Amino acid sequence: MQTLIIINDPPYGTERLYNGLRLAHALLKRDGEVTVFLMGDAVSGAKAGQKTPDGFYNIERMVKRATAKGQVLLCGTCMDARGLTDDEVVEGVERSTMDALAEATEQADRVLVF
């Protein structure tokens, strides 16, 4: 089953990105096909080099885990608005577009929004 997870919230301050990625990991363990689309402030969750306090979750590591078996796409317009370049993001994520999101939405069996 193909699942599309769309996440809008920033990596820290709320737990929507954290929980969306946790769900993506759980679905990937079940051999599901998962695409995660980060847009709005969520694109900053794919920034490489995040340093969080010991014992605190690290979104960068969670994004890397999601790219191992699934696909993580970033809204290019949202990246540009936040000054985030392709060179600054985690290896394995892909800059994307609204057209690609529309296509992923049409192909998905289910769409979840965080």
Residue recorded with tokens 């800059």: 95
Distance CA 52, CA 36 (A): 22
Distance CA 92, CA 80 (A): 19
Q: What is the pLDDT of residue 75?
A: 98
Domain total for the chain?
A: 1
pLDDT tens digit at each of 114 positions of the chain: 999 999 999 999 999 999 999 999 999 999 889 999 999 999 999 999 999 999 899 999 999 999 999 999 999 999 999 999 999 999 999 999 999 999 999 999 999 999
Among the listed residues 94, 26, 96, the one whose alpha carbon sits nearest the alpha carbon of residue 65: 26
CATH number (domain holding residue 6): 3.40.1260.10
Among the listed residues 12, 98, 87, the one whose alpha carbon sits nearest the alpha carbon of residue 47: 87
Residue recorded with tokens 């192909």: 107
Residue 71: Cβ within 10 Å count: 18
The residue range of the domain holding 85 is: 2-50+57-113
Distance CA 57, CA 59 (A): 6
